[in-house]
């Protein structure tokens, strides 16, 4: 009978622990996020825009979002991507930030 009560007590104390632990984890996570944001990210999110669209006079603008690695590709990114307004593959260049 004492063992059953001990289990009940330990169960209730375990129920209270996760909320306290999760609060600690959240505060630790916030500290980690702020520390990581001080570093410069290697991967950048860039926007690619069609180069032929402006010259063609067709309305709309074909833009794509992608990522690039700053260390591997320091130059501006240029890719052949599909332009749905012109219905063909065209050269897309990285926009300035």
What is the rounded distance in angstroms from the CA atom of residue 39 to the CA atom of residue 33?
Answer: 10
pLDDT in tens, 1-36: 555 555 555 444 455 555 555 555 555 554 444 445
Per-domain boundaries in the chain: 43-95
pTM above 0.85, yes or no: no
Residue pointed to by tokens 């990114």: 77
Give the pairing of strands 63-69 and 88-94: unpaired
Q: How confident is the model at residue 40 (pLDDT cuts 50, 70, 90)?
A: confident
- Among 2.60.120.330, 1.20.272.10, 2.30.40.10, 2.20.28.120, name the CATH number for the domain at 43-95: 2.20.28.120
Q: Tokens standing for 48?
A: 């690619």
């Amino acid at each position: 009978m004492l063992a059953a009560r001990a289990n009940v007590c330990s169960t209730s104390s375990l129920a209270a622990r996760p909320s306290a632990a999760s609060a600690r984890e959240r505060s630790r996570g916030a500290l980690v996020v702020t520390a990581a944001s001080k570093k410069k990210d290697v991967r950048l999110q860039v926007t690619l825009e069609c180069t032929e669209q402006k010259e063609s006079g067709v309305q709309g603008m074909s833009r794509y979002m992608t990522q690039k690695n700053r260390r591997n590709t320091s130059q501006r990114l240029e890719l052949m991507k599909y332009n749905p307004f012109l219905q063909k593959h065209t050269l897309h260049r990285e926009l300035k930030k």
